[in-house]
A and B are shown apart, each in its own frame.
Chain A
Amino acid sequence: MRAGCGNRRRHDTHGPGRYRRGGRRDGCPVTGFLIRRIFQAIIVVIIVTVFTLLLVHLVPGGPIRALVGARASPEQIAYYNHLYGFDRPFYVQYWKWLSQLFHGNLGYSLKLNQSVASEIASKLPKTIVLVLLGTVVSLVFGIPLGIYQAVHRYTVGDYVLTGVSFVGYATPTFFIGILLVEWFSIHIHLFPAFAPQGDTVTAVLSQPRALVLPVIAYAFVLFALWSRFMRSSVMDNLVQDYVRTARAKGASERRVLWGHIFRNSVLTIVTLLGLELPVLVAGAIFIEVVFNYPGMGLAFYNAALADDFATLLGFTLIATLETIIGNLLADVGYAVLDPRVRYS
């Protein structure tokens, strides 16, 4: 972290931060911020795990009822409650459950006759492929088009793209998927209507044609998000003093845009990527259901239909931990990348 601090200070002498908030340069604030932020994240994790265990008890008739079925006798329920320790005080249950978690035991899905951890291990890589491809495609289109909109604001091109992103905001992900299927696999048989099937990542990647529609559908909503944020971020930066300074010093328009504004605006996206993880998860669930893509989203959906609470809760916990880590990385990344940020 020390090295990072040194770098940043050198950066400061060119950066805009110097003129905006000169005073607080003592010590290395990122380290303190990092420790505090991690501490906060740990507290959030504890609250989330308590929530999750409470959800188990939310099931009508208790967690055992969901397991043994609606026709189980009270004696059977009492027996299993005792067997699984659900008759103990909440804090005892919590502690036992937590220590199991630390050993990588996320529960056991009786419906699938498989441990939740092994289910995640087999499904997560495929979902990561979809999410990564979709996110990269959306960024590749969203960032440049957002910049274009800001530079050529209030022109026809800007209005058209604004319209597209408003539609993107208002369209359910699954509906885009349905439309793509309707247009590209039913009317013209260009792409298959179903995502690649297969157990491994390589099997999925070996059918790129079948990946096209899911990835486009996944990327569309995200594209609206990035281009919209990029547009407003670039427009905010265009009127900053440092842009005027750069122009006054004779920097070319290209250098102003890519050397100064772009670097500052793209920071917004860094934070957003961390903060929008719940949106990425939601997208994955819907796209996987529409295209029958064999990832975690589809497994989660099947678990919901089968009342498989072990899977539902295990997946939720993992997705939540990913989100918390994502938020943490976004905050830290932002603090390291942006010399103006001084968290006190």
Chain B
Amino acid sequence: MAMLTPPPDTPAAIPSPLEVPPDGDAGAGGLTAVEAAELGLAPAQKPRSLLRRGWEVFAENKLALVSVGVVVFMILFCFVGPLIYQTNQVNTNLADYLCHPSGSHLLGCNDVGYDQLGRLMVGGQTSLEVGFAAAFVAVLFGTLYGAASGFIGGATDSVLMRIVDAGLSIPYIMVVIILSVVFHPNTLIMIFIIASFYWLGVARLLRGETLTLRTREYVQAVKVVGGSGFRAVTRHVVPNSIGTIIVQGTFAVADSILILAGLGFLGLGVQPPATDWGSMLSNGLTYIQSGTDYWWLIYPPGLAIIVTCIAFNFIGDALRDAFETRLQRR
């Protein structure tokens, strides 16, 4: 469970009101940060307490904890599941054409005889891989771009931000569709296609955050002691925006899964034999419109998408509360 939550090393939350005042002091005292920065000790203490505080608030949110459980379950289901529930996802088997759910095929089969439950696992692997990786690439690039733009300021900032404006005004769905048509993507290319527009929003957000951070004493102090702008951004601006970054990253996973599903539905997602939840749905639509009730073709992948995305959205909301509370107490 700990692998997805921000502070992996923190033990279970112990509500300890006694710990609040010292943390509060460390946060409020700009001086402490400046001194630490001068001594080159800055990062060690502060982010830790920040994450710990965040974790305490996060752990109080039962819905978020359940969501973390759901995400972990989905990961295990997709990546460990195929080891337990072994199915043939390589060779088609027309004898099992659209077979109903039964003891040997728990969720029935699709139109070429693949076991639907096994298909759900394989498709989920793609969906989750693309979701996480695209979110990571987009947030990483967007963060650096936005922080650099906001920190440098002036004409550079204007130019960089107009590029972001332009990118954001092209409807994202059209960009990803055209890129998919051009590249006939596999999983790796798909990650970059989705990230190629998602970073724009992150960049705009981080730029705003940087504009407020760059005037803080501890960031100014880096300049005073002769530190480079690169150091100020990577050691001070970005770590202090970590709340925004993590929250955005969480939402980005959900959004990426949805976009991949959309592309898959249009038949422009990852190319066969690979599949994802959206492609499975697209397959299902063909058959339910024929008038027969092939419920197992649409409900399992649809619910998988919805449940996973809701879980990530809940986690994102809880994280936002967690980090905002930190700001309020300061």
Contact = CB atoms under 8 A, between A and B. Distances in A.
Interface of A: 40, 43-44, 47-48, 51, 55, 58-60, 166-167, 169-175, 178-179, 181-182, 186-187, 193, 277-278, 281-282, 285-286, 289-290, 300-301, 304-305, 307, 309, 312-313, 315-316, 319-320, 323-324, 327
Contacts, number: 143
Contacts of A166: 310, 313-314
B293 A186 contact: yes
Interface centre among A178, A324, A327 (most CB of B within 10 A): A178
Contacts of B293: 182, 186-187
B41 interface: no
B130 interface: no
B171 A281 contact: yes
17 contacts: A59-B182, A60-B182, A166-B314, A167-B310, A169-B310, A172-B265, A174-B285, A178-B281, A178-B285, A181-B285, A182-B298, A278-B169, A286-B265, A286-B266, A309-B181, A312-B174, A320-B170
B51 to A, nearest CB: 26
B162 interface: yes
A51 B166 contact: yes
B211 to A, nearest CB: 15
Given A55-B178, A286-B266, 16 more contacts: A51-B167, A169-B309, A170-B310, A174-B285, A175-B298, A178-B302, A179-B298, A182-B298, A186-B291, A186-B293, A187-B293, A282-B172, A286-B262, A304-B268, A315-B174, A316-B178
Interface of B: 162-163, 165-175, 177-178, 180-182, 254, 258, 261-262, 265-268, 278, 281, 284-285, 288-289, 291, 293, 295, 298, 302, 305-310, 313-314
By DSSP majority rule, is chain B's interface helix, strand, loop, or mixed? helix
B173 A323 contact: no
A179 B305 CA distance: 14
A166 B314 CA distance: 9
Contacts of A300: 174, 177
B229 to A, nearest CB: 26
By DSSP majority rule, is chain A's interface helix, strand, loop, or mixed? helix
B266 A289 contact: yes
A320 B171 contact: yes
B277 to A, nearest CB: 9
Contacts of B178: 55, 304, 309, 312-313, 316
Which 4 residue pairs are nearest across A and B when measured between Cβ atoms? A170-B309, A47-B166, A282-B173, A281-B171
Contact of B174 (A169, A305, A316): A316
Nearest to A308: B181
A185 B192 CA distance: 39
B285 A304 contact: no
A100 B169 CA distance: 22
Interface centre among B163, B181, B261, B305 (most CB of A within 10 A): B181
Contacts of A60: 182
B170 A48 contact: yes
Contacts of B168: 278
B305 A175 contact: yes
Contacts of A170: 254, 258, 305-310, 313
Contacts of B313: 166, 169-170
Contact of B162 (A44, A187, A193): A44
B169 to A, nearest CB: 5
A179 B170 CA distance: 29
